[in-house]
Amino acid sequence: MAADASSVGAALKAKVQSITAVTTVTEELDTNKLLGRPGQYTSAAWIADAGATPGATGIDGGAVVEVFATAADLQTRSEYIQGVLKKMGPAFGTEWHHVKGTTLLRISGKLNPSVNDQYGAAFGS
């Protein structure tokens, strides 16, 4: 079984110096209202990064970890997000996605590519 999103976030925080906080996403905090719903993430965590928007939550804060029941559910979510971003254009935002098993690590395109590389190395993708 995959680790929960908060555990993944804590492991990343120990390796990526620009991470300032990890917040466990609960049903109350989940602005997407996807937590625990069929085909969606089973756990999620927001990662605040010093290079992103201070005080922002979700991807705007730096990064997001989402854990899914199956790799197929993860793939569907990743493709959906990337498709929407591509359709809307760069002004709507960009993201890097790293995948390991059933865990999706989403990194904000507001961060520098070198920071994305640090996350990828720490994540092991």
Residue 43 is part of which domain span?
5-123
- Cβ–Cβ under 8 Å, residues 1 and 67: no
- For residue 125, the model assigns a pLDDT of 67
- Give the alpha-carbon dihedral of 53, 25, 88, 80, to 10 degrees: 150
Structural domain total, the chain: 1
CA distance 74 to 94: 18
Q: Taking the mean position of all CA atoms in its chain, how far away is CA 33?
A: 15
CA atoms within 13 A on the CB side of 96: 18
Beta bridge partners of 48: 21, 62
- For residue 1, the model assigns a pLDDT of 44
Here the CATH number for the domain that contains residue 102 is 3.30.1360
One pLDDT digit (tens) per residue for the chain, 125 residues? 457 999 999 999 999 999 999 999 999 999 999 999 999 999 999 999 999 988 899 999 999 999 999 999 999 999 999 999 989 877 778 899 999 999 999 999 999 999 999 999 999 96
